[in-house]
Structure formats: C-alpha cells, structure tokens
Amino acid sequence: MPRLAYSLLTLTLLAAPAMALVPPDYQEPPSDFKAEVETGFQLNTGNTESTSFNGRTKLVYDTSNARQEGTLKAYFASDSEKTTSEKYDLQLQSNYKLNGGYVYGRGDFTWDQFGSYTEIFTVSSGYGFDAISDEDTKLSLEVGPGYRYNLPQENDEQPDPIAEKDLILRLAAKFEQRIHEYTSLTADITTEVGDNNNTVSLDMSYKNTIFLNWAFKVGFNIKYTEIVPVGTKQTDTISTFNLLYTFQ
C-alpha cells in the first residue's frame, strides 16, 4: 500500500471514534450570559433638536436563582458649529428569584448636558413578578420605594441650581411579545411618583432578525417630567434606527 494511502487510512480510523461521540445534530447548551451591542441613527425632539448617532450595550447574566442586568446607552450629536446633544444612561438591576416572583435592587443614572436636568440619579428596591410568561408573551410588574436626585439645568434665574432630592414610589411594567420567529416587540413603562416631582417614561422597540445574530432595531423613548426648570420642555423623545448584534 502506498505510504499516502496508508496515512489517510490511519487518520480515518483514529477520527472515527471521536466523530461517533458527537451526534450530527449536536448543539451547544444554552448560556447563562447574553450580550447585545447596537449602534445607529437617532432623531431628537424636545429639549434637543438634532440628528446623529447613538450606541447601546446590554449585559445579562441569568441563572436559576438570580438575574443580573446592566445597560449603557450613549447619545451624541453636533451641527456645524457645536455639540447639540450629549447624554449617557446607565441602568443596573439585580433580581433575586423567589417562588412566584423576585425582589430587586436597581440604579438609574443619567448625565444629560442639554436636558432639563443635567444629572438624574435614582436608586430603588422592591418586588416584581411575572404576570404573563409563556413562549411568545412576557409581562413583568414591579413596585417599590426609592430615592431620586435631580440637578436642574443652569439658567439666568438659577445660574447655580440646587439639586432636588426626593423619596419616590417606582412602578414599572415590562412587556415583550414575539410576533414570529424573527420579529419581536418590547415596551417598558416606568412611573416615579414623588413629593416634589413625577415622571413617566416609555421605552419601546421593534426588532427584526436579518441574519443569524444580526438584527435591525427601531427604538422609541419618551419621557415626561411634570415640573422642569424655566426655559425647558416637559417631554423629551428619542427615536433610533440601529443595527444590533447579539452574543449568547
């Protein structure tokens, strides 16, 4: 037998047992860790009038006993003369799972150079549960007390503004609907009720998978603040059109 044929036969015999150990339909087990990275175009109205780019990174570690989640959002825009929008949002939440629900601790931190409030820090804790949880539809409800720190934007009447500090009650609903295999819709509604101010925010997104882990995502965020500094608007909206990649 020629030496080449002998070598090929030997490799085949050695590889056969290893191939037999791995079924042809084998898939890696699901991971507890998931990450999303997205970037794209944005349109601002309200206190900021501009178009530019934005980015978002979300990390989730979900086990049988707990769920850790962190989201960082960045928005930046400029025109031919100056920067017109610069905003950063950091959201952190830790859930400890119980029978029928979970207790959570949460922190929301916003730095917004052109917003009605340039710094907004909120920490809260409470109880949440899944009102609906099946293959296609999920709805979680949360309620709990918290503390909010708001630093108003400077103006002629308040060149050195005093920060507002408030005890709040936070109410939240998180909804997710899978329309079909490649398309999903999410909507998060959060209300913060305090002695000095009240806010309502809606964060919606529509995601359509285009290839493997790549998806196109349209986002819409609106926040209403009841009391704002003089010269600023109560409602801010951000619309985004992003390309998203999922690691899992």
Element (H, E) at 14: helix 3-21
Provide the residue type at 190 as one letter: T
Q: By C-alpha distance, which of 184, 180, 104, 92 is closest to 140?
A: 104
Residue 18 in this model has a pLDDT that exceeds 50:
no
**Once rounded to an integer, what is the mean pLDDT over residues 142-165?**
90
Quick check: 168 pLDDT over 90?
yes
Q: What is the pLDDT of residues 56-71, one digit of tens each?
A: 999 999 999 999 999 9
Q: Which of 182, 185, 236 is nearest to 212 (CA)?
A: 182
d(CA 38, CA 54): 8
DSSP structural state of residue 28 = P
Angle at the Cα of 241 (from 235 to 246), degrees rounded to 5? Answer: 115
d(CA 238, CA 240): 7
> What is the pLDDT confidence band of residue 77, given thresholds at 50, 70 and 90?
confident
Lowest mean pLDDT among 21-25, 86-90, 95-99: 21-25
Q: In the predicted model, is pLDDT for residue 8 greater than 50?
A: no
Residue 1 pLDDT > 70: no
| CATH number of the structural domain 32-247 | 2.40.128.130
